[in-house]
Amino acid sequence: GKLLGIDASGAPTQGDLLVDQSSLTGESFAVSKSKDQEVYSSTVVKQGQQRAIVTKTGKNTFIGKAAHLIATTQDEGHFQKVIGKIGNFLILFTLVLVTIIIIVQFIMFKDVPVRGEVLKILNPVLILSVASIPVGLPSVMAVTMAVGARFLATKQVIVKRLAAVEEMASLNVLCSDKTGTLTLNELTFDEPYLSEGFTPQDLMLYSYLASEYGANDPIELAIRQAAERQVPLLKNRLSSTAVPGYEISNFVPFNSSDKYTQATVRDLENEVTFRVVKGAPQVILQLVGGDEMALRASVVMAQRGLRSLGVARTVAGSDKWTLVGLAAMLDPPRPDSAETIKRCQHMGLSIKMVTGDQQIIAKEVSRRLGLGDVILDASHFYNADGFAEVTPEHKFRIVEALQRQGLLVGMTGDGVNDAPALKKANVGIAVHGCTDAARSAADIVLLAPGLSTIVDGLLTSRAIFQRMRSYALYRITSTVHFLIFFFVVILAYDWTLPAKLLVLICILNDLASLVIAVDNAQISSKPDKWRVGQLIFLSCLLGILLTGLSFGHFFYFWKVRGYFPHPEVDGDMTVVDRSLDSIMYLHISSAPHFLIFSTRLKGYFWQSMPSLMFTIVIVGTQVVALLMVIFGWLTPKIPVTEALAVFGISFVSCVVLDFIKVQVFKYWTHLVPSSSRRRNNFLPGDK
């Protein structure tokens, strides 16, 4: 016997309803629902009172499905996948070489007592493992993204998920909600149709007189606000309701049967009374006895997606209606939207409008923004510039379908209806004035109105991407070089650097690499992409070449200069000369570290100069290493001339490797076509 409130969708069994579906579609205009059309859960009945049959409840409703989609979306971030691949490669490479060393060492020292055998084996294994596993990789990446996020905060862009700063650089498609994001979310008046003898001010004045003061309907609000701006009589009035010179004696509000509002007005100056009416164009044209030109104008407005209102008045002392004109209304694009879209497109980002509004309205807004006029429903997306009449689940599926094409997709929105798609997108962006649901689902929140700050986000993210790619290339190269060189010299010559020097290399070089977060970056004009295969191939090539250089140093200073890697017996005395340790320490510290000047760019290193701080820190750490071997800090002293020779050769070798790097990038582009180029054929600009 209790009356229960339930979350349900249903269908009216009779009559019409005017329903506000803004919680689902984001559009503020009420929608007419006739018999057998579904009325969705969470929508609000604005006019009418009818019985309905409940057809769905709970998670089976549209809003329930949206909530379920948000709760079940737990995709691993794109950046995490990339870092995982790089980390797994380095760890696997380390494990393979370490395993070989362990096996060989067991064979070599099988006759040594167990304690000595274990210590002999563990020493090189631990040194290789500690020095080669990229413990600094996550830290450098995190600091680089944090610096970018801090900069974006000054542009009123708040980053909630740090990896989104980097992932934004790789976006191919940005799906954007229309209302409140691309548009102002407020009705304004377009070019009207006017009958002969009437002005735009007349049209606004009579529309105002026929409006219900205090009504919260979007159309009524828009009329009152526009009239108060345009009609001189309304600008300097004392009362907020009265119209100077006019008195409303009777008012008939809107009802679903008549489809118009009507006011009886007395002109106090001329002492005459007339009636004014405002409503659906077809109803008003019928009242005035038809008007062929006005009818054609209303059809054109409808085809352009403009909402039109007919306004008519009677002649004083007569019941004959005269058409004043047709008012055309539209939620206009934001002033900066078209320019922002144009800049995004020039940066290789495809913009697709996703809206719950009608298709013709979406086409008109898209035309004004320069997006194109291919506006399809949610089931077609390959060649679409936008999508209309979509629900929250449709938005989610559109983002999902684009991702299945191998594209990285961004989504902007402000409403509850956008939350599932914001959660599903690689980068979800909640715009200014968003709801709590949208803010919670998004990765980035814009505090300034419109999308113009997205351009700042794109530029910053692409700069961050270049810095991170630069560090990844340097770090993998250094690890490959380190592992191969010490793998060979440990097995072949039973030699390695003292542990303290290896640890010092790791600490100084990794700490210095943190300044890459403030380095200058050459921003790409197209979406960036982590090409892990290319990155690992180039890193291995550069690492092998560096290894060859290291062997050159090792054998030259051993065989030619006489710095022996092992203690020598001179008569009855064992002479210990560890000068080769100092030479190889300086070389292994400086040669890979100088390479970071090359890995900053795909082109030659001099095409974009590094920042002053970056240069000072990178060079400074190697100057410290140089002074250590000259003055004998923590390592034996070596002659200044030989120290400078090692230092200079390390730098010159990086110039040679820079040339090789450029050629690899050049030929890789021609020989290995990018998968992104193969799958982007349907994006605007490639059609």
**Which of the residues are catalytic?**
177
Query: Per the structure block, which two tokens stand in for 89?
Result: 């490669």
CB-CB neighbours of 207 under 10 Å: 28
Residue 670 CA to residue 21 CA, distance in Å, equals 52
**Residue 465, helix vs strand vs coil:** helix
Distances (CA, A) of 500 to 166, 241, 587: 35, 84, 16
359 φ, ψ (degrees, to nearest 5): -65, -40
Reduce the DSSP state of residue 40 to 3 states and report it: coil
Locus of tokens 């997306």: 381
Considering only CA atoms, which of 205, 198, 199, 200 is closest in space to residue 227?
A: 205
DSSP per position, 376-418:
E-TT--TT-SEE-S--HHHHHHHHHHHHHTT--EEEEE-SGGG
Question: Are residues 61 and 41 in contact, defined by beta-carbon separation less than 8 angstroms?
Answer: yes
Burial class (CB in 10 A: 0-12, 13-18, 19+), 527: buried
User: How far, in Å, CA of 678 to CA of 687, rounded?
Assistant: 13
Q: How distant, in Å, are the alpha carbons of 52, 132, 189, 208, 284 from that of 329? A: 33, 66, 5, 15, 17
Distance CA 458, CA 85 (A): 25
Sequence-ordered list of residues with C-beta below 8 angstroms from that of 604, at least 6 positions apart, any chain: 658, 659, 662
Of 478, 427, 527, the closest CA to residue 175 belongs to: 427
C-alpha 455/C-alpha 342 separation (Å) is 10
Burial of 283 (0-12, 13-18, 19+ CB in 10 A): middle
Contacts of 214 (CB under 8 A, 6+ apart): none
396 with 70: CB under 8 angstroms? no
- Where do the DSSP E strands lie in 30-131? 30-33, 44-47, 52-57
The conformation of residue 565, written as its DSSP 8-state character, comes to S
CA distance 361 to 359: 5
Residues forming beta bridges with residue 83, ordered by sequence position: none
630, amino acid identity: I
Measured N-to-C along each axis, helices 499-513 and 114-132 cross at an angle, to the nearest 10 degrees, of: 20
CA 158: distance to chain centroid? 12
CB atoms within 10 A of CB 239: 7
| Structure token pair of residue 454 | 């997205």
How large is the C-alpha radius of gyration of the chain? 36
Kindly state the helix (H) or strand (E) to which residue 381 belongs, with its residue range: none
**Pick from 328, 364, 363, 306: which is nearest to 190 by CA?**
328
Query: Tell me, what amino acid is at 28?
Result: S
* Farthest CA pair distance, the chain: 135
- Of 399, 614, 447, 426, nearest to 518 by C-alpha is 614
